[in-house]
Amino acid sequence: MNQNIQSNVHTPWNKGQLIGQKSPLKLKEIWAIRIRLQMAKNTRELALFNLAIDSKLRGCDLVKLKVCDVSQGGRVSSRAIIMQQKTHRPVQFEITKQTRDSLANWIN
């Protein structure tokens, strides 16, 4: 009797893909993204991208930011302190001039 024996070979879902921590964006790549967002007039995306680069916050913390977290009296602050959701620790970061300008454009 000849039985068909099927081998139970399991192929991982991530076979051939890069896994683990990704390398950080290069300065040239950051500027290319900024320029494309400026040319496309994506004010919101440019402000969030610049703020993400300055703060190095996780995405969940970045999208929970409120206007009062980064501005006071109608003017964008040069520094901010944010409480992280995951670690419950405060993060202080400087907001660069370029980011302040893009945030001001978006808020207005």
Q: Does domain 27-107 have CATH number 1.10.443.10?
A: yes
In the predicted model, what is the mean pLDDT of residues 82-87?
Answer: 93
What is the structure's pLDDT at 73? 87
Map out the domains of the chain as residue ranges.
Answer: 27-107
Query: Which 3 state secondary structure label does DSSP give 98?
Result: helix
In the predicted model, what is the mean pLDDT of residues 30-48?
Answer: 96
In the predicted model, what is the mean pLDDT of residues 92-97?
Answer: 96
In the predicted model, what is the mean pLDDT of residues 60-66?
Answer: 93
Q: Which long-range contacts (CB under 8 A, 24 or more apart) does 77-82 make?
A: 80/55, 82/55, 82/57
pLDDT at 65 > cutoff 80: yes
What is the value of pTM for the model shown?
0.77
Query: Which 3 state secondary structure label does DSSP give 76?
Result: strand
Mean pLDDT (the chain, rounded)? 90
> 7 pLDDT band (50/70/90 cuts)?
low
Beta-bridge partners for 94: 79
